[in-house]
Amino acid sequence: MGTVSSSLEVLLRQATGRLAPILPLLTELGRAFGEDGHALALVGGPVRDAFLGRESLDLDLTTSARPDDTERLLAAWGDATWDMGREFGTIGARRGSTIVEVTTYRADAYDGVTRKPVVAFGDDLSDDLIRRDFTINAMALRLPDLDFVDPHGGLADLAARRLRTPGPAEVSFGDDPLRMMRACRFAGQLGFDVADDARTAMTEMAASLEIVSAERVREEFSKLMLAPDPVPGLRLLVETGLADVMLPEVSGMRLTVDEHKRHKDVYEHSLTVLQQAIALEGPPNGPVDSVPGPDLVLRLAALLHDIGKPSTRRFDSGGGVTFHHHEVVGAKMTTKRLRALRYDKETVKAVSRLVELHLRFHGYGTGEWTDSAVRRYVTDAGDLLQRLHRLTRADCTTRNRRKAERLSRTYDSLEERIETLMEAEELKKVRPELDGNEIGEILGIRPGPVLGRAYKHLLAVRLDQGVIGPDAARAELLRWWSEQPESEDAAALDEAPGSPPQE
């Protein structure tokens, strides 16, 4: 027992040492609550991360004080306070650059239909800890004395890198089904395994995730995708059936391997592409062109780039298999799924566009593209070009070293050509050589669909031929106009009796 105690003392000293920069403020706050007759403890993520040696951005505390008392005490301690959710017992405060969230002990109950708890405030720290999601988040440091509280063996689970619920897993997940997704997220963020009873409960209760709002599911999924290695968490999502509820397209990719193995396992391929794309991200504070990681758009595109394959798979008479237009189908499926998960419009648009473009490079062959084709590649990618570079390179998962090296060299060649053309022509700023006002004046038309078609035609000329000069652009515009039915209508109107003279 003495050995265990001494080991715990060492771990506690290390953890409190990592909390040293904020401990003076927290102990001061603990004394203020104590002098007012209330208990206060640092709880959950900050405690867990202190033991793991990770920096925690959130400072969550729990208290016996009710929200009104909490607000009064925080107002005296801090520079500002705000109501984070009084009905749930949470008040926020800031002191200098330190932000804390203090929540009254809870003893929630859930109705089993929605994820919203029926809030009941508690009076005991132990009751509060047992309602938390996992034992590693059910540890606390009482303030101001820094007494360590771990009634459910969270520290042992940290050492074993294991996710376990404080109470029966089926009860915990029944109370809050989102906790099952949180298990997947922690598997990716921390690299922890899920205890057998928790995994079994997740599998049996996966369907209950349907009662959780799409917004909350999206938040957990995004946190998983931004983890250092999302793959373990994604595998857990699929293997337990949770993905069948919130991301069935990824589960469906497992169905695309035929008995003769005439093509890659699309599911495993996609997970590999995701890991390779992550490896190509730039440092977090790097320049924009490096695609600083973690990059949600790139990662989502890497995971979803082949989701169109199951519905486009065809076997030909020669025993081969094809996935014609799976990139187009996949882009539409991506848009539909990300909208269902309530992602913002820009994210949906960007990820879907990358899925649509991910095969474009394979038309490059050994470098036969014309300059106009390269211009179109850059223009179609737009601001997504650097992400498309990385997605395309990550999509090479062949074990044939020569083939992999050949593809890499070919893409190196394309990137070099892009850089050369961008320097010479500023491809990011490609526009027709005549603007909308000039087009309207030359053709004698007002803004509208016809002028839009004329603009697009001149843009295509610019992409195909490069810079040809305003005079040549004007001549091409007039040639195009002569072939349009609207030009004939305009000419007939000019010749009609009583028409006003044209200048």
Residues 9-61 pLDDT 10s: 788 888 888 888 888 999 999 999 999 999 999 999 999 999 998 887 789 99
Answer yes or no: do 165 and 148 share one domain.
Answer: no
Q: In whole angstroms, how far apart are CA 79 and each of 36, 101, 299?
A: 19, 14, 39
Dist. CA 286–CA 219, nearest whole Å:
25
Positive or negative, the CA dihedral 63, 67, 68, 74 is positive
Residue 501 counted as domain residue: no
Residue 263 has pLDDT above 60, yes or no: no
Indicate whether 56 belongs to any domain.
Answer: yes
- Domain count of the fold of the chain: 4
Phi then psi for residue 469, to 5 deg, are 95, 150
Q: Is the dihedral of CA 461, 463, 468, 471 positive or negative?
A: positive
460 within domain boundaries: yes
Most confident of 210-214, 381-385, 436-440: 210-214
Instruction: Looking at the structure, tell me whether residues 135 and 228 fall in a common domain.
Output: no
E strand or H helix that includes residue 143: strand 140-143
Q: How far apart are CA 342 and CA 38, in angstroms?
A: 41
Rounded Cα–Cα distance for residues 345 and 342 (Å): 9
Task: Please list, in sequence order, all residues whose beta carbon lies within 8 angstroms of the beta carbon of residue 384, skipping any fewer than 6 positions away.
Answer: 297, 350, 353, 354, 357
The CATH number linked to 169 is 1.10.110.30
Q: How many residues does the chain have?
A: 503
User: Which of 90, 83, 179, 65 has the alpha carbon at shortest distance from 131?
Assistant: 179
Which of 193, 222, 246 marks a domain boundary? 246
Residues 288 and 142 in one domain: no
pLDDT confidence of residue 317: 65
Are both 404 and 263 inside the same structural domain? yes
User: In which band, very low, low, confident or very high, does the pLDDT at 484 lie, cut at 50, 70 and 90?
Assistant: confident
Q: Is residue 392 part of a domain?
A: yes
Number of DSSP helices (H) and strands (E) in the chain, helices first? 25, 13
**Cα angle vertex 127, ends 123, 132, to 5°?**
125
Domain boundary among 131, 160, 189: 160
Range of the domain at 467: 436-493
Phi, psi of 200 (to 5 degrees): -60, -45
241 with 299, same domain?
no
Are 478 and 332 found together in one domain?
A: no
Does one domain contain both 329 and 203? no
pLDDT digits (tens, 9 = 90+) for 158-195: 999 999 999 999 999 998 999 999 999 999 999 999 99
Average per-residue pLDDT for the chain: 86
> Is residue 462 domain-resident?
yes
Take residue 332 and report the two structure tokens written for it: 């539409």
Contacts of 17 (CB under 8 A, 6+ apart): none
Query: Which regions of 207-354 does DSSP assign to beta strands (E)?
Result: 314-315, 321-322
Domain endpoint, select from 216, 246, 276: 246
Which amino acid is it at 181? M
* 115 part of a folded domain: yes
479 and 387, same structural domain?
A: no
pLDDT at 114: 56
Question: Do residues 277 and 424 share a domain?
Answer: yes
pLDDT at res. 108: 60
pLDDT in tens, 441-471: 888 888 888 888 888 888 888 877 878 888 9
CA distances from 451 to 26, 456, 470 (A): 65, 9, 17
Question: How many CB atoms neighbour CB 440 within 10 A?
Answer: 18
Residues 213 and 259 grouped into a single domain: no
Residue 498 lies in a domain: no
Integer Cα distance of 15 and 51 in angstroms:
5
The whole-angstrom separation of Cα 263 and Cα 159 is 41
Predicted pLDDT at 496: 46
Contact between 73 and 65 under an 8 Å Cβ cutoff? The reply is yes
pLDDT in tens, 73-95: 999 999 999 998 888 899 999 99
Mean pLDDT across the stretch 111-129?
A: 74
Highest mean pLDDT among 251-265, 278-292, 360-374: 278-292
Q: What is the DSSP letter of 220?
A: H
Statement to judge: residues 198 and 143 lie in one domain = no
- Tell me if 502 is assigned to some domain: no
Q: Give the burial string for 22-40 (b: 16+ CB within 10 Å, else e).
A: bbebbeebbebbeeeebbb
Cβ atoms of residues 331 and 356 within 8 Å: yes
DSSP state of 278: H
Are 143 and 131 within one domain? yes
Q: What is the pLDDT of residues 333-387, one digit of tens each?
A: 999 999 999 999 999 999 999 999 998 887 766 667 788 888 888 888 989 999 9
